[in-house]
Every structure is written in C-alpha cells, then in structure tokens.
C-alpha cells in the first residue's frame, strides 16, 4: 500500500477526520499542560481529575445530554474543589501528597468510578458506551465535540501562555516567587483548572482511565530528554502528537481500541527516553571521573 | 552615614501569632556592609528578614529600607528564603533558575532568547555574567537537581543578584553546606558585596565560619538583641548577658575570634579551642 492510498483509506470516513482533529487539539494541549504538571509533580491530581470526568460523562449520557459537556463540567468542577482545599498547591507536590491527602484523593477516585458505574447502569443498554468512556474510541467523536475541544484547547493554551512564566517560577520555587509578588495560590488554582480542561479533553480521546498516555507519558519523556523549558514543552507536544496520530492510525487498521495503542506507544517512548537518559548519565559520570583523574 | 544606610531598625518589635518574638531591636547596615543575623532556632531570625521585606508587620518602632518603609520598593532587594535543596527530580537547568530571577514574575511565556531580539540577548548576557560572577559556569547547564548543595547555593545567589539589587537578604544560605563550602560561599558573598557596593543581611546558624567576613552582627536571644560591629558584640560579657548561660569568646592562633558555648550551636564544633586552630 502506497502512503497516499494509506492516507486516503484512513480519512475515507468523516469519523476518522473528526478523530484526528480531536486528537491533534488534545495532544497539543495535553503535551504543554502535561509538561507543567510533571514539573509540579501533580500527575496524581491530573489522574484524579480524569477519573472524576467519568461519572460526569456517564451522568450527561444518562440525562440525555452531550457527554463532552459532562467531562468538562466534572473535571473543571473537580479542579475548582481541589484548588479550594487547604494546601492545594501541595497535592502530589514535593512536600506533600503522599500522606493523608493521597488517602482522601484515592477515596474520591474510587467514589467517582462507583458513581460512574451507577449512572451507566441507570442508563440501560449502554454497555459499549462504558468501554468508550473508560478506554476511548475513534468512532464516537462528533463534529460538535471537535468544535467544543477546539474552543477549550484555544482558551486553555491562551491562559497557559499568559501565566507560563510566573507558573514556572511558582512551580520551581514558590517561596521566592511569592516574595517577588507572584500570586502563587491564584496561579496554582488557575493551573488546576487548566489541568481539568486537559483531563476532560484527553478523556475524550483515550478514555478516562488512560489519560496518562497523553497527559503524563509525553511530558515525562520530554523531561527525561532535556532540562530546557522551551525545548521540553515543544518536545512534549511533539511526542503527544506523534503518539496520538500513530495510535489513531493503528487503531483504525486493527481490531483493538485506540486507548491501548496510544498507551502502548507512549509507554514505549517513555522507556526509550529513560534508557537514553540513564546511558547519558552514566557517560556523564564516567567523563567526570576521567576529568578528576586527569586533574589528580 | 545615615543617608547611606540600606537598612535601619529603631526600637523595632515584631509580633507573630499574638506573641512578641523580639523587641527593642536597633541596628544599621550601610551600603557595601555584610551583616549576619545570629541566634538559636526559633528566636526570630527569619521574622527579622521578613520584617525588612515588609512581609511581617512590626508592632513598635520604625524600619527604613533605603529611607522608605519596608516593602515599598522590592525591586532593589534580592531575597533568598530559608529552604531545602532542590531534589533530584527537579528537571530545570541552573541557568533557567537564574533567569527566573530576572523576569520570572512577568506574565507571558519564556521564549528561547533568539526569539526575543536585542532585549532577549541583553537578558541572556546578564544571566551569563552573573553566573560567571559566582563561578557557576561549569554546572549552570546541568539539571539543578543534579548539582551539589554548594553549587545550588551559588546558583541561587546568582538568581538573587541577577537584577543588580542594592540589598541582598539571605536566610541560612550556608545551611546544608560542609565547612569548606561555608567558607567559600561566605567569601563569595563578601567579595560581591564589597565589589558591587551591595548591603548583605544574612541569617546564619553558626558564627564561626563567617566571622572573618562580617561588618555587623545582630545577635538575637531571649526576646532582645545585641547588635553592632563584631568586636563590640562578640564578647563573653555581651553574649553571656544575652543568653543567660556562659559563653566564651576565644582567639585562635590566627587571631580569629571563636565563639564557644552559644546555645544550640551545631555539635561538630567541639568545645576545644585547639580544634579550631
Ligand atoms: N506563621 C507563624 N505563625 C505563628 N508563629 C510563627 C509563625 N512563623 C513563625 N512563628 C514563630 O515565631 C518564632 C520565630 O520564628 P522564626 O523567625 O522562623 O525563627 P528562626 O528563623 O530564628 O528559626 C518561632 O517561635 C515560631 O514558632
Ligand atoms: Mg529561620
């Protein structure tokens, strides 16, 4: 099969065009927002927001409205609640998130999943929909959903572009950032809302349970490959796009769901990057030792 | 000289959480002077720095910073808070940390410097310059989490210096360093403050490694303070009166002062004067 006929084949159906458009928007937003999330060590919060999206979407379906709206309402609402908690900045952060708070969040995750299943069973005849909500689908993305994702994607990337520098400062060094007059709490809250939007959008491509594939894995891969912020963000977006496009294309030609492919490719990229950075570190240490010996 | 003074305290008291931490504190730090704030844990050293920054209200007396009330003009102050080191998970280069000191609070996105025109080049040049000043060239491009404690501290001092402040406020910058690094970082701070005419107020836990570099000491204890030039303040009489326990001040063979018996001194400084020689 030649590349052109492969592409023709791929986009023969409008649903695949929708899936690629949705995937592209989501990958750019998740790649950029995910980079900050990984630097802030808030992956756990990101996953929680995604899981909260599941009952939102299930409830929306049950009530006969658009599941995409359900994702956004639940995820942004969840983000606002986490932001309002005391020590919100610390959830999953350097200084906290491993103690009581993670127990609370774990409970919230379990409750969200259980509530989601309740809404699914209240809405009878929805069983294939359950898989789609949890593990993603390429056939289910509607044109109105793509439009909604585009609006959310542009809005969240604009907000991120406005707060990026103070956000980076508040992430790396909250005390110094606060002494410079950065409203650390407000910036952290705004970032949680961005994370909610990213989780809601990503859920619509990978399903609620597999958002890690686009929100965490590309960013964690990029961070292993470079410590430069500009390059890291660009790399994270590029990897997320690659993973999404490849995953969607393979899913189209295979009987297995998109969530599986996207997750597997993202995981492979992460493993490769970990190997590269381990090798680099070992080489760096050896070079240091050699310099020391040369000096001695 | 009072016109030149960077920081002036006149009968200042600080109340934190309804409790008076210290009161009646008087001192002056002039441009180009290196002052240390000393005393045991919990005595209110950090509170004193925050009072200079205008982050903690005072309950009596007056503070003036370059002739204005505290907090009026923070752009002339470089501040390094009390901290723990960056862990190995912090994946940002030292040079990026220094750069945040230049414009980190500005809204917007940090773009690569080649995208920012002449302003970006000037900023990048200033960052390189200050990294040279603290001698951090060889590790400024490594992830900061992989730098040693002393290297991280130099990078953070560069971050505090990058906007050419007139006053540097440092909270226990020698905290996690070994004695050799404590001396070299103190020497660096002193040389920067002399060369650039910057006033430095630094909190330290232990006076001995930094004593040779100091122009002013502010000893806090028992709700009050003794302040002045090191020769005036670092005497057995003054420190014994402040702490209410016997404190000795000895001279080692190089003629340097050594404080022995100050409460809460780190255990690695034995009460044996010969060991310091
Ligand atoms: N936010 C706060 N609320 C109440 N008490 C505080 C607060 N911050 C500090 N303190 C108290 O003020 C005193 C001085 O603290 P601090 O200035 O941090 O001491 P130091 O820096 O000398 O160790 C301590 O007793 C501390 O418990
Ligand atoms: Mg302190």
**CA–CA gap between residue B62 and residue A247 (Å, rounded):** 66
Please tell me if the CB atom of residue B47 comes closer than 6 angstroms to any atom of ligand 1: yes
B179 touches chain A (CB under 8 A): no
Three-state SS sequence of A19-59: HHHHHHHHHHHHHHHHHHHHHCCCHHHHHHHHHHHHHHHHH
**CA–CA gap between residue B150 and residue B252 (Å, rounded):** 26
Cβ contact, residue pair A164, B159, below 8 Å: no
Question: Which of B13, B25, B42, B262 best tests ligand 1's pocket when mutated (most atoms within 8 Å of CB)?
Answer: B42
| Cβ-based contacts under 8 A for chains A and B | 81
What's the pLDDT score for residue A126?
61
* DSSP three-state, residue B62: strand
Token code pair at residue A26: 């989501």
Cβ contact, residue pair A39, B91, below 8 Å: yes
pLDDT digits (tens, 9 = 90+) for A7-24: 888 888 888 999 999 999
What ipTM describes this predicted complex? 0.86
Give nearest CA residue, ligand 1 atom 4. B17
C-alpha A125 to ligand 2 mean position (Å): 63
Judging contacts by C-beta atoms under 8 Å, the chain B residues touching residue A228 are 93, 96
Q: How far is A268 from chain B (nearest CA, A)?
A: 21
- The number of CA neighbours under 13 Å toward the Cβ of A51 is 17
Range A279-285 contact pairs with CB under 8 angstroms and sequence separation of 24 or more: none
Please tell me if the CB atom of residue B18 comes closer than 6 angstroms to any atom of ligand 1: no
Q: Is the dihedral angle over the CA atoms B201, B205, B209, B211 positive or is it negative?
A: positive
Q: Which of A180, A186, A283 to mutate to test the interface with B (most CBs of B within 10 A)?
A: A180
Please tell me if the CB atom of residue B16 comes closer than 6 angstroms to any atom of ligand 1: yes
What's the pLDDT score for residue B274?
40
C-alpha B17 to ligand 1 mean position (Å): 9
Please tell me if the CB atom of residue B269 comes closer than 6 angstroms to any atom of ligand 1: no
Q: If you count them, how many residues does chain B have?
A: 277
What's the pLDDT score for residue A280?
86
Question: Which protein residues have a CB closer than 5 Å to ligand 2 (ion)?
Answer: B 46, 82
Q: What does the angle CA B101 – CA B202 – CA B239 come to, to the nearest 5 degrees?
A: 170
Please tell me if the CB atom of residue B42 comes closer than 6 angstroms to any atom of ligand 1: yes
Cβ contact, residue pair A179, B81, below 8 Å: yes
> Of B81, B77, B85, B2, whose CA–CA distance to B45 is shortest?
B81
Tell me the β-bridge partners of A264.
none
**CA–CA gap between residue B250 and residue B260 (Å, rounded):** 8
Under DSSP, the state recorded for B197 is T
What's the pLDDT score for residue B108?
92
Residue of chain B nearest A94, judged by CA positions: B87
- The residue-averaged pLDDT of B88-110 equals 92
Q: Is the dihedral angle over the CA atoms A17, A21, A22, A23 positive or is it negative?
A: positive
% of chain A beyond a pLDDT of 90? 59
Least confident of A122-126, B6-10, B184-188: A122-126
Residues near A289 by beta carbon (within 8 Å), at least 6 away in sequence:
none
Please tell me if the CB atom of residue B221 comes closer than 6 angstroms to any atom of ligand 1: no
B114 touches chain A (CB under 8 A): no
B245 vs A72, higher pLDDT? A72
Cβ contact, residue pair A230, B110, below 8 Å: yes
**CA–CA gap between residue A86 and residue B219 (Å, rounded):** 36
What's the pLDDT score for residue B73?
83
**CA–CA gap between residue B216 and residue A142 (Å, rounded):** 71
pLDDT digits (tens, 9 = 90+) for B163-202: 999 999 999 999 878 888 888 889 999 998 898 899 999 9
> Of B3, B2, B50, whose CA–CA distance to B22 is shortest?
B50
% of chain A beyond a pLDDT of 70? 90
**CA–CA gap between residue A19 and residue B176 (Å, rounded):** 53
Cβ B69 vs Cβ B63: under 8 Å: yes
Domains in chain B (CATH in brackets) are 5-276 (3.40.50.300)
pLDDT digits (tens, 9 = 90+) for A269-289: 999 999 998 898 888 777 766
Residues near B3 by beta carbon (within 8 Å), at least 6 away in sequence:
B67
Alpha-carbon A60 to chain mean position: 22
User: What Å distances lie between residue A231 and A223, B36, B228, CA to CA?
Assistant: 9, 41, 50
Question: Which of B12, B14, B19, B44 best tests ligand 1's pocket when mutated (most atoms within 8 Å of CB)?
Answer: B44
Cβ contact, residue pair A166, B105, below 8 Å: yes
Cβ A192 vs Cβ A79: under 8 Å: yes
- The residue-averaged pLDDT of A135-143 equals 86
pLDDT digits (tens, 9 = 90+) for B202-227: 999 888 888 889 999 999 988 889 99
C-alpha B37 to ligand 2 mean position (Å): 10
Q: Which CATH architecture has domain A3-295?
A: Orthogonal Bundle (1.10)
What's the pLDDT score for residue A150?
97
> Of B109, B96, B104, B113, whose CA–CA distance to A157 is shortest?
B109
- The residue-averaged pLDDT of B112-136 equals 88
Residue window 34-63, chain B: list those with CB within 8 Å of chain A.
Answer: 53, 55
* Domain regions of chain A by residue span: 3-295
User: What Å distances lie between residue B215 and B28, B36, B161, B233, CA to CA?
Assistant: 11, 8, 20, 11
Radius of gyration of chain A (CA): 20
Phi and psi, residue B211, nearest 5°: -50, -40
**CA–CA gap between residue B246 and residue B261 (Å, rounded):** 7
Please tell me if the CB atom of residue B44 comes closer than 6 angstroms to any atom of ligand 1: yes
pLDDT digits (tens, 9 = 90+) for A235-278: 999 999 999 999 999 999 988 888 899 999 999 999 999 999 88
Q: How far is B108 from chain A (nearest CA, A)?
A: 4
User: Counting Cβ atoms within 10 Å, is residue B176 exposed (0-12), middle (13-18) or buried (19+)?
Assistant: middle
């Amino acid at each position: 099969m030649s590349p052109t006929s492969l592409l023709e084949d791929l986009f023969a159906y409008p649903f695949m065009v929708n899936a690629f458009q949705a995937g592209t928007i989501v990958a750019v937003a998740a790649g950029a927002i995910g980079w900050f999330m990984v630097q802030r060590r808030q992956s756990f919060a990101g996953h929680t927001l995604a899981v909260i999206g599941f009952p939102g979407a299930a409830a929306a379906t049950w009530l006969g409205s658009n599941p995409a709206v359900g994702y956004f309402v639940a995820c942004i609402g969840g983000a606002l609640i986490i932001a309002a908690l005391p020590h919100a900045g610390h959830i999953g952060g350097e200084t906290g998130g491993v103690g009581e708070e993670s127990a609370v969040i774990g409970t919230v995750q379990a409750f969200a999943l259980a509530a989601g299943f309740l809404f699914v069973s209240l809405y009878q005849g929805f069983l294939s929909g359950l898989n789609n909500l949890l593990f993603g689908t390429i056939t289910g993305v509607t044109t109105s959903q793509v439009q909604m994702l585009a609006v959310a994607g542009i809005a969240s990337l604009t907000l991120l572009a406005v707060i990026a520098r103070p956000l980076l400062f508040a992430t790396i060094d909250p005390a110094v950032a606060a002494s410079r007059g950065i409203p650390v709490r407000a910036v952290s809250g705004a970032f949680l809302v961005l994370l909610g939007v990213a989780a809601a959008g990503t859920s619509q491509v990978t399903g609620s349970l597999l958002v890690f594939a686009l929100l965490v894995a590309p960013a964690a891969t990029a961070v292993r490959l470079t410590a430069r912020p500009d390059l890291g963000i660009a790399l994270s977006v590029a990897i997320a796009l690659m993973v999404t496009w490849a995953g969607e294309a393979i899913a189209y030609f295979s009987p297995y769901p998109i969530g599986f492919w996207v997750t597997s490719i993202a995981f492979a990229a992460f493993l490769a990057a970990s190997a590269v950075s381990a090798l680099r570190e070992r080489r760096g240490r050896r070079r240091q030792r050699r310099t020391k010996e040369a000096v001695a | 000289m009072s016109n030149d003074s960077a920081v002036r305290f006149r009968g200042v008291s600080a109340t934190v959480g309804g409790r008076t931490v210290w009161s009646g504190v008087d001192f002056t730090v002039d441009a180009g002077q290196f002052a240390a704030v000393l005393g045991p844990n919990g005595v209110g050293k950090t509170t004193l720095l925050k009072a200079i920054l205008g982050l903690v209200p005072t309950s009596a007396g007056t503070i003036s910073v370059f002739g204005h009330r505290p907090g009026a003009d923070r752009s002339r102050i470089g501040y390094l808070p009390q901290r723990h080191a960056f862990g190995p998970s912090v994946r940002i280069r030292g040079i990026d940390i220094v750069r945040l000191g230049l414009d980190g609070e500005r809204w917007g996105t940090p773009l690569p410097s080649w995208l920012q025109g002449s302003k970006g080049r000037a900023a990048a040049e200033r960052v390189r310059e200050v990294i040279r000043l603290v001698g951090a060239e060889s590790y400024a491009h490594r992830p900061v989490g992989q730098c040693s404690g002393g290297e991280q501290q130099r990078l953070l001092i560069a971050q505090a210096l990058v906007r050419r402040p007139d006053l540097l406020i440092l909270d226990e910058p020698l905290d996690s360093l070994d004695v050799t690094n404590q001396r070299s970082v103190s020497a660096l701070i002193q040389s920067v403050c002399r060369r650039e005419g910057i006033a430095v107020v630094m909190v330290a836990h232990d006076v001995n490694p930094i004593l040779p570099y100091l122009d002013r000491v502010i000893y806090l204890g028992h709700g009050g303070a003794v302040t002045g030039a090191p020769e005036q303040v670092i005497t057995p009489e003054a420190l014994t009166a402040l702490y209410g326990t016997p404190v000795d001040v000895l001279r080692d063979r190089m003629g340097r002062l050594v404080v022995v018996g100050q409460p809460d001194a780190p255990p690695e400084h034995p009460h044996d004067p010969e060991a310091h020689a």
